[in-house]
């Protein structure tokens, strides 16, 4: 009923192969984007923009990066936060050492540095897989943070190792208010999400999925395993690196190793598990769940007048229970729930 497709004919290959084949989906996506770009910056409070939406978008980007690696290419990783840290510190160093460099170029270069680190730490994936690979990417996490605290050159010789991020200025225009930062982050994330969606639909993406599903079979049909796996690590780390740079420059305002702890890696892993492994939309849904729910619970608990210590323990309990509940009800995550919902709506009111 809501998804009545009658009358939507596809007469060309292009029309048949587009990202969103159903017209309602296209309209919904465009409407969401229009609201996000044209309405939210003007009506949302600075708190909502800078403390909720910006981190949500940044974590969605990081989750997208991990989803490319884990969800599409099947390589488990626990080093997401480390790749984010590389992106953040590299971007900071590029701006610091090359004062004339445009900040967007610095973000991209930061992403490329993360991609190189990703390739280096992706090498073990050629020999090991599954939990063993997860353990070896865990080494990235410790190694990168260790490097950042041990090598003063990476932190510009700052005594404490914590440095403040430079201002974001693009073509003389300063992105210094929550509205402007939000719009910038939104544009970068939307663009990269579109890119990711196309990438996973392409030849490269199909080779990743072949590797994920059965790497021996993939090799037999002529997919070069080394290239596919390392490319997955590179692209995934690039996404995480850009997310890390945005996290430092557009959200925290500081660049410090402790912000990129193992804890953050786990949170991003939870995002893709809850959101949906192997789904672009799932990365966004998962990030929304992990970012918004604790804040929402905290505000509700505060409204009920609970003492803060009780409130935060309650928050952890409810949060944990919801994760367990969700994964029992739908182990494939929120994206799968949405897909099922959509299918039901297409048949409504005559389910079979």
Partner 1 sequence: MTFKSLVLGAVLATSGATALAQQFVALPSYRVGPYASGGAGFYGGIIDYFNLVNAAGGVNGVKVTWEECETEYNPSRGVECYERLKTSQGGATLVEPLSTGIAYGILDRIPQDKIPMTMLGYGRSDAANGKVFPYVFPLISSYWSQAAAMVKYLADKNGGNLKGKKIVHLYHDSAFGKEPLPVLEALAKQHGFELVKVPVAPPGSEQQAQWLQIRQARPDHVILWGWGVMNSVAIKTAQRNGFPRDKILGVWWAGSEEDTVPSGDAAKGYTAMSFNTPGNYPVLDDIRKKVYAAGKGNLPDQGRIGSVYHMRGVTAGILFTEAMRTAQDKFGKGKPVTGEQLRWGLENLNIDAARQKAIGAANMFPTVKTSCEDHEGSGAVKVQQWDGKKWVAITPNWIVGDRALVKRLVDESSNKYAAEKKLTPACMK
User: What is the contact surface with partner 1 in residues (CB under 8 A)?
Assistant: 45-47, 50-52, 55, 149, 159-162, 164, 166-167, 176, 251-254, 256, 258-259, 295, 298-299, 302-305, 308-309, 311-313, 315-316
Q: How far apart are CA 229 and CA 9, in angstroms?
A: 38
β-strands 173-174, 169-170 pairing: antiparallel
- Rg of the chain over Cα atoms, rounded to whole angstroms, equals 21
Q: Name the residue nearer to partner 1 (CB basis): 74 or 244.
A: 244
Q: Name the residue nearer to partner 1 (CB basis): 270 or 338.
A: 270
- Closest contact distance (angstroms) between CB of 154 and partner 1 is 14
- Closest contact distance (angstroms) between CB of 244 and partner 1 is 13
- Closest contact distance (angstroms) between CB of 308 and partner 1 is 5
Q: Name the residue nearer to partner 1 (CB basis): 215 or 256.
A: 256
Q: How far apart are CA 249 and CA 241, in angstroms?
A: 12
- Closest contact distance (angstroms) between CB of 156 and partner 1 is 9
Q: Name the residue nearer to partner 1 (CB basis): 248 or 334.
A: 248
Q: Name the residue nearer to partner 1 (CB basis): 169 or 195.
A: 169
- Closest contact distance (angstroms) between CB of 317 and partner 1 is 12
How does 24-45 read in b/e, with b if 16+ C-beta sit within 10 Å?
beeeeeeeeeeebeeebbeebe
- Closest contact distance (angstroms) between CB of 14 and partner 1 is 43
Q: Please identify which residue in the block is written with the tokens 């969606």.
A: 197
In sequence order, which ranges of the chain are alpha helices (DSSP H)?
Answer: 13-16, 23-34, 40-43, 46-47, 54-66, 80-97, 103-122, 131-150, 178-201, 203-213, 215-220, 225-246, 262-275, 280-303, 308-329, 333-347
Q: Name the residue nearer to partner 1 (CB basis): 12 or 309.
A: 309
């Amino acid at each position: 009923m809501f998804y009545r497709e009658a009358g939507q004919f596809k007469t060309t290959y292009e029309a048949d192969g587009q990202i969103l084949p159903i017209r309602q989906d296209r309209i919904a996506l465009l409407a969401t984007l229009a609201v996000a770009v044209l309405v939210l910056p003007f009506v949302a409070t600075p708190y909502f923009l800078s403390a909720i939406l910006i981190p949500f978008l940044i974590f969605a980007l990081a989750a997208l990066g991990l989803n490319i690696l884990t969800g599409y290419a099947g390589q488990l990783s626990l080093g997401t936060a480390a790749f984010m840290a590389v992106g953040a510190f590299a971007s900071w160093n590029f701006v610091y050492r090359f004062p004339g460099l445009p900040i967007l170029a610095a973000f991209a270069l930061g992403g490329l540095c993360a991609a190189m680190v990703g390739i280096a730490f992706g090498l073990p994936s050629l020999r090991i897989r599954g939990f063993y690979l997860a353990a070896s990417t865990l080494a990235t996490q410790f190694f990168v943070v260790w490097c950042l605290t041990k090598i003063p050159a990476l932190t510009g010789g700052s005594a404490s190792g914590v440095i403040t991020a430079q201002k974001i200025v693009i073509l003389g225009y300063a992105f210094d208010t929550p509205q402007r930062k939000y719009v910038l982050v939104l544009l970068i994330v939307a663009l990269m999400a579109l890119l990711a969606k196309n990438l996973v639909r392409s030849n490269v993406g199909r080779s990743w999925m072949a590797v994920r599903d059965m790497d021996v079979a993939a090799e037999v049909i002529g997919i070069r395993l080394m290239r596919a796996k390392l490319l997955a690590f590179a692209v995934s780390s690039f996404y995480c690196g850009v997310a890390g740079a945005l996290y430092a420059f557009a959200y925290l305002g500081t660049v410090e190793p402790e912000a990129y702890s193992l804890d953050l890696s786990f949170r991003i892993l939870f995002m893709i598990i809850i959101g949906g492994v192997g789904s672009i939309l799932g990365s966004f849904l998962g990030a929304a769940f992990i970012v918004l729910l604790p804040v929402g619970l905290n505000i509700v608990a505060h409204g009920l007048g609970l003492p803060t210590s009780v409130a935060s323990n309650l928050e952890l309990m409810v949060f944990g229970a919801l994760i367990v509940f969700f994964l029992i009800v739908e182990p494939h995550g929120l994206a799968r729930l949405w897909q099922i919902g959509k299918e039901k709506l297409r048949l409504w009111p005559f389910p079979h």
